[in-house]
């Protein structure tokens, strides 16, 4: 449940890469964050307690005909509706920047879809994929570690940023 790994996971999913995801549900803090974040509960993982479990699960994984995640996860939800310019993943707190950003968006008449963490902590992965398939950019607010709830907001923002980088950014 590290934010850098969540970014990479989102990116790999968007790029249709085979994923071998392992998770030790006996680690209390990771298990709590996994459940609270909720975005990854539909992805699946191999649970482990030791290196033998990991090795055996990997051999099982590698022996299968790997079908990419795009066809099963991304493609069914990616819709080409009216393109918006921006997906704004807003902080649950009304900080100075959280007060200014909507004004700037409104003043510049930027078409936007807002994910407001004060209303709904985390949307479904399907919702994010649908939105990301119809925007040109994403703006995610991360929280400082001194704020309550920073773990979930930052994990969500990292994962969504990784998805966005793979889906939206076309060099």
**Distance (Å) of CA 65 to CA 19, 45, 56, 124:** 13, 17, 17, 28
Per the structure block, which two tokens stand in for 138?
Answer: 């994403």
Cα distance between residue 119 and residue 80, in whole Å: 26
Domain definitions of the chain by residue range: 1-171
**Distance (Å) of CA 77 to CA 45, 119, 133, 134, 157:** 21, 23, 8, 11, 20
pLDDT in tens, 93-123: 998 988 999 999 999 999 999 999 889 888 9
pLDDT in tens, 121-164: 889 888 898 888 888 889 999 999 999 999 999 999 999 999 99
């Amino acid at each position: 449940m590290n934010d850098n790994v969540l970014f990479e996971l989102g990116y790999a999913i968007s790029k249709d890469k085979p994923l071998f995801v392992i998770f030790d549900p006996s680690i209390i803090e990771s298990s709590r964050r996994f459940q609270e974040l909720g975005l990854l509960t539909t992805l699946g993982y191999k649970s482990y307690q030791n290196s033998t479990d990991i090795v055996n699960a990997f051999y099982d994984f590698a022996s299968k005909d790997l079908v990419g995640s795009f066809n099963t996860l991304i493609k069914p939800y990616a819709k080409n509706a009216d393109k918006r310019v921006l997906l704004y993943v807003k902080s649950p707190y009304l900080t100075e920047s959280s007060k200014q950003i909507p004004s700037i968006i409104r003043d510049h008449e930027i078409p936007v879809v807002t994910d407001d963490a004060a209303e709904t902590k985390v949307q479904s992965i399907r919702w994010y994929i649908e939105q990301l398939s119809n925007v040109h950019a994403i703006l995610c607010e991360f929280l400082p570690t001194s704020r309550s709830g920073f773990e979930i907001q930052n994990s969500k923002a990292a994962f969504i940023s990784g998805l966005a980088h793979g889906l939206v950014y076309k060099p």
